[in-house]
Amino acid sequence: MPNKPKLKMKHLFEQIKFRALFYISLPLVAGLLGYGLLPSWLLASAVISTLAIVLDFRLRQIQLQDRSHLFDLIKWDVANGMAALSISARYGPILTNSSASMCPENLNILSQLLTSLKPLNILEFGPGASTEVVTTWIQNEKQPANFVSVEHDSEWLKIIKNNLDRREIGKHVNLIEAPLADWLDAKGTFRWYQRNYMDALPATLDLIIIDGPPSVDHPNRYPAMAELVSKIHENTIILLDDGARQGEKWAVEQWVNSLGLKSFYLNTLSGLWLIQKK
């Protein structure tokens, strides 16, 4: 995947305004439509207008960055906007909006996996928008799923719990606070969750969502499979968010080479790895 081109600093505020418009307005329109408050023609008009804004904004960026990236930038924005519409229409307005949460494209893929696999035992590292998607799916589909979500930041955990309770879906997840600690093996030292969450896990897991801990500058998510390889079976799906980053790519390479796993990369905005046993 090509590297995302960087805008000059003076254009940063313009990009922030654009992305706020794009990622907030579309889900809002979809939510209003879902509650019967907007006619379908207005939704179509909003989508067309927003796509026109995307194209105009990206064309104006041609002078700021390499022209060869223009199509990719438009593609990522349009795909995420349409995915945000789909997610909002199916799961309602997502209250947890953070740059650290899964992008709408990845949430849409998660949604498709939930629908097709109907996993009974789900583990998540790093709760956020994905937590709302999973808990809403459990409630709407009346699934008897066991869902555990692990987070190291107590303040963020409070925000997640509050958002879930506001939507009356908090009862479908076991939120566990697990502080980060040094995790060592022959490949180095990493910051991973303390093992208190292991007591809450069943013998096997059907779906593992890895969106934590923070690993911008270091592959801190590498310990995940070393800790959990004994709990995966031949049909277990592992989702690794932020797959475009070098640390995540390195972690996947280690898992494939040493743990008998296979991987498939999806070229979304932030990148997503799908991992299974060979």
Within 10 angstroms of residue 83's Cβ, the number of other Cβ atoms is 22
Q: Residue 210's pLDDT is what?
A: 98
Q: Residue 259's pLDDT is what?
A: 95
Burial label, 51 (beta-carbon count in 10 A; 0-12, 13-18, 19+): middle
Percent of the chain with pLDDT over 90: 61
Report pLDDT digits (tens) over 121-176: 999 999 999 999 999 999 999 999 999 999 999 999 999 999 999 999 999 999 99
- Who has greater pLDDT, 23 or 168? 168
Q: Is the pLDDT of residue 110 over 60?
A: yes
CA–CA separation, 264 and 236 (whole Å):
14
Domain with CATH 3.40.50.150 in the chain: 104-277
Classify 64 as helix, strand or coil. coil
Q: Residue 128's pLDDT is what?
A: 96
Which pTM does this prediction carry?
Answer: 0.76
CA–CA separation, 239 and 133 (whole Å):
14
Q: What is the mean pLDDT of residues 191-214?
A: 97
- Who has greater pLDDT, 194 or 53? 194
For the structural domain made of 104-277, what CATH number should be given?
A: 3.40.50.150
> DSSP secondary-structure letter at 151?
E
Three-state SS letters, 172-211: HCEEEECCEEEEEECCEEEEEECHHHHHHCCCCEEEEEEC
Residue matched to tokens 């998510």: 221
Q: Residue 86's pLDDT is what?
A: 82
Residue type, 174: N
Q: Residue 29's pLDDT is what?
A: 54
Q: At 182, list the tokens.
A: 């040094």
Q: Where would I find the H helices in the chain? A: 12-34, 40-60, 70-91, 104-117, 129-141, 154-166, 223-228, 246-259
| pLDDT-based confidence at residue 84 (cuts at 50, 70, 90) | confident
Report pLDDT digits (tens) over 33-73: 555 555 555 555 555 555 555 555 545 544 444 445 555 65
Contact 176, 150 (CB under 8 A): yes
Q: Is the pLDDT of residue 182 over 80?
A: yes
33-47, 106-120, 200-214, 251-265: least confident range: 33-47
